[in-house]
């Protein structure tokens, strides 16, 4: 799987219809704050209005905008007496610990049909037809077409990045680092393995990551392992040795150290906060209950008194 597809799959990417039935004039569609959304102008004209931009950005028919939680931003009609036909959807991305793709996503991305492949126009054409037809499965097709537009716009954004750019999307534009990102999503990957696969030294590999991605590969790998461990704990896994093994930490002790360092809590405390009940204690061979292996005695006492520990902000 390519790194962009792997990232969207990890984030459980899906589109939800953005409901805006306000017919009042002058027409204005507000960008949802702290939410990624996509807006396609299928008929008419408009412009983008935000506090971050000093000038208006005019939109023609066939243009698509991705908004990454722009505060007090909106699409507005060119003429106060008209209402453009704009298709909008909210992009749902589940990232409890964040993701480098989300951190690199700019406030606004624009794309027009004149600079996009033919599949872009076909998606817009399908959306127009589905909106005018009351047929079965229309909402599903709407979500799928909006999702396709989102990926196409991201792909175009990567292709047009400048050489001075340094973030996760810039690594996608580099053929060598693109392969590294695909491997970095696997828990068992190490920096030495990345360098060996590219036929380069560890030092040159780290330098390329720092220059084009703005980060060290060890930090990317550590964050990916932590996200995988959190995913397993959120799914209900209680065997910390298995969580450590499947997330690439190797040992239960390394897993607990990583949680304390990055999140300030233990894996068991995170489990209790997520599931709102005491962390199950495993039985030893003699039938006795083992102590919580990831907690100090004081933390275990606090857990007994208050099973649900609030999750700290990472």
Among the ranges given (45-54, 86-95, 182-191, 252-261), the one the predictor scored with the smallest mean pLDDT? 45-54
Over residues 15-44, the mean pLDDT reads 79
Inform me whether the pLDDT recorded for 142 exceeds 70: yes
Share of the chain above pLDDT 70, in %: 85
Superfamily of domain 219-305: Homeodomain-like (1.10.10.60)
30-54 tens-digit pLDDT: 888 888 999 998 888 888 887 765 5
pTM exceeding the 0.85 threshold for the entire prediction: no
Sole residue written with tokens 């807006």: 39
Q: Which range, of 125-139, 200-214, 215-229, averages the lowest pLDDT?
A: 125-139
Domain ranges, ordered by start, for the chain: 3-159, 168-215, 219-305
Q: Decide: 273 and 308 in contact? Cβ < 8 Å.
A: yes
pLDDT of residue 93: 92
Question: Above pLDDT 90, what percent of the chain?
Answer: 42
Report whether 124 contacts 42 (CB < 8 A). Answer: yes
What is d(CA 254, CA 221) in angstroms, rounded to the nearest whole number? 14
Q: What is the predicted pLDDT for the residue at 289?
A: 47
The string of DSSP codes covering 232-283 is HHHTT---HHHHHHHHT--SHHHHHHHHHHHTSS-HHHHHHHHHTSPPPPPB
CA angle, 6 then 11 then 143, to 5°: 95
Domains 3-159 and 219-305 share a fold: no
pLDDT in tens, 288-314: 444 555 455 554 444 444 333 344 444
231 within 8 A of 243, measured Cβ to Cβ: no
Distance, in Å, from the CA atom of 255 to the CA atom of 272, rounded to the nearest integer, reads 16
Encoded tokens for 172: 């996608």
DSSP state of 289: B
Average of pLDDT values for 4-10? Answer: 92
217: how many CB neighbours lie within 10 A of its CB? 25
CATH of 3-159, one of 1.10.10, 1.10.3470, 2.60.40, 2.60.120: 2.60.120
pLDDT digits (tens, 9 = 90+) for 244-266: 999 999 899 999 999 999 999 99
Task: Give the pLDDT of residue 308.
Answer: 39
* pLDDT value for 157: 95
């Amino acid at each position: 799987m390519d790194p962009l597809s792997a990232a969207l799959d990890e984030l459980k990417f899906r589109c939800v219809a953005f409901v805006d039935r306000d017919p009042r004039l002058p027409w204005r569609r507000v960008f949802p704050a702290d939410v990624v959304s996509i807006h396609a102008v299928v008929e008419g004209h408009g412009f983008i209005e935000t506090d971050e931009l000093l000038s208006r950005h005019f939109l023609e028919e066939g243009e698509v905008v991705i908004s990454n939680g722009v505060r007090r931003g909106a699409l507005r009609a060119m003429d106060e007496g008209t209402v453009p036909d704009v298709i909008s959807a909210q992009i749902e991305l589940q990232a409890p610990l964040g993701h480098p793709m989300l951190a690199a996503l700019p406030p606004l991305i624009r794309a027009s049909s004149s600079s996009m492949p033919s599949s872009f126009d076909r998606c817009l054409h399908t959306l127009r037809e589905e909106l005018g037809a009351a047929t079965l499965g229309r909402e599903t097709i709407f979500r799928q077409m909006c999702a396709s537009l989102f990926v196409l716009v991201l792909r175009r954004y990567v292709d047009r990045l400048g050489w001075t750019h340094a973030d996760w999307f810039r690594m996608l534009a580099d053929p060598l680092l693109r392969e590294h990102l695909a491997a970095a999503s696997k828990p068992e990957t190490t920096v030495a393995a990345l360098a060996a696969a590219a036929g380069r030294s560890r030092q040159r590999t780290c330098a390329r990551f720092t220059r084009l991605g703005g980060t060290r590969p060890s930090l990317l790998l550590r964050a990916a392992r932590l996200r995988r461990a959190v995913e397993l704990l959120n799914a209900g896994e209680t065997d910390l040795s298995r969580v450590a093994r499947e997330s690439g930490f190797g040992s239960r002790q390394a897993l607990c150290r990583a949680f304390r360092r990055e999140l300030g809590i233990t894996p068991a405390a995170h489990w209790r906060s997520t599931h709102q009940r005491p962390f199950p204690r495993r039985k030893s061979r003699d039938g006795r209950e083992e102590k919580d292996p990831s907690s100090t005695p004081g933390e275990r006492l606090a857990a007994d008194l208050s099973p649900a520990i609030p999750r700290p902000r990472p």
